[in-house]
Amino acid sequence: MSAAPAVVVERLGKIFRPPAGLGAMLRGRFFGAPLHALADVSLTVATGEIACVMGPNGAGKSTLVRILGGLLLPSSGHARAAGIDVIAGDSAFRRRVAFVVGDERSFHYRVSGRGNLHYFAALHGLTGATARRRAAELLERVGLGAAADRRYREYSRGMRQRLALARGLLGDPQVLLLDEPTLGLDPRGARDMRAFLRDDVIRKSGRTAIVCSNDPSEARALADRVLFLDGGRLRGEAPPDRIEAELGL
């Protein structure tokens, strides 16, 4: 593992200001109470490392990976991923950093897995035969070769997660950001997915990954290092075999 960090986060903070209710707006207040989603978070992830960010719901995990993926702007502090400031969030950044959106609704339900992937290949700038070849290759790689032409709405939860992963790999990124990649999968499906992610997608390609999870077995199976986030603050870190002790389980 190289010592050069692929991800550097310095004193990152994020405050959301939700819109006020109608009554408050009539009194001249347009925002509700500020919500501190992240406060003073600093961390580094070395190139080739798999870091797992753990924490309860609302700890700030999704906010952190969305900022690192360039989808959200931080309120304070700095972060760089694959050598680029996350605030840029431009094409060059998105080619190097892939936020794997695992939301089931993030594909078109009436279009096949292959059709969906072709569409996203175009958004990665892949054209014609190159796009078709890349999509076919990734569908095979994530085990969806036989189901590629079935409509997305016919896919099981596990197949949808695999397709989301294939989409994240279209651009061959250096840094992968995964938000609960095995959420909702059955135990065997989750185990297979983790092994595939760790060995095939990340290790073999020398990628760096940050995985958000609140499942200790996921963190143990995937991570080199586990970071604990709670109430928007980084509370510490531990090797994967110390998770239960750290969490007091």
CB of 1 to other proteins, least distance (A): 27
Closer to other proteins at the Cβ: 112 or 213? 112
For residue 130, what are the CA distances in angstroms to 6, 107, 127, 135, 172?
28, 21, 6, 8, 13
Helix, strand and coil in the chain, % to nearest 5: 40, 25, 35
CB of 50 to other proteins, least distance (A): 20
Closer to other proteins at the Cβ: 124 or 191? 124
Q: How far is CA 147 from the centre of its chain?
A: 24
Closer to other proteins at the Cβ: 17 or 242? 17
Quick check: 13 and 39 in contact, CB under 8 A?
A: yes
For residue 42, what are the CA distances in angstroms to 78, 82, 130, 186?
9, 16, 40, 34
Closer to other proteins at the Cβ: 11 or 118? 118
CB of 192 to other proteins, least distance (A): 23
CB of 112 to other proteins, least distance (A): 8
Q: What's the CA gap between 163 and 158, in Å, rounded?
A: 9
CB of 45 to other proteins, least distance (A): 19
Closer to other proteins at the Cβ: 119 or 196? 119
Residues binding other proteins (CB under 8 A): 16-17, 63, 66, 69-73, 89-92, 94-95, 98-99, 101, 103-112, 115-116, 118-125, 127, 164, 167, 170-171
Q: Which residues have a Cβ under 8 Å from the Cβ of 34 and sit 6 or more positions away?
A: 15, 16, 17
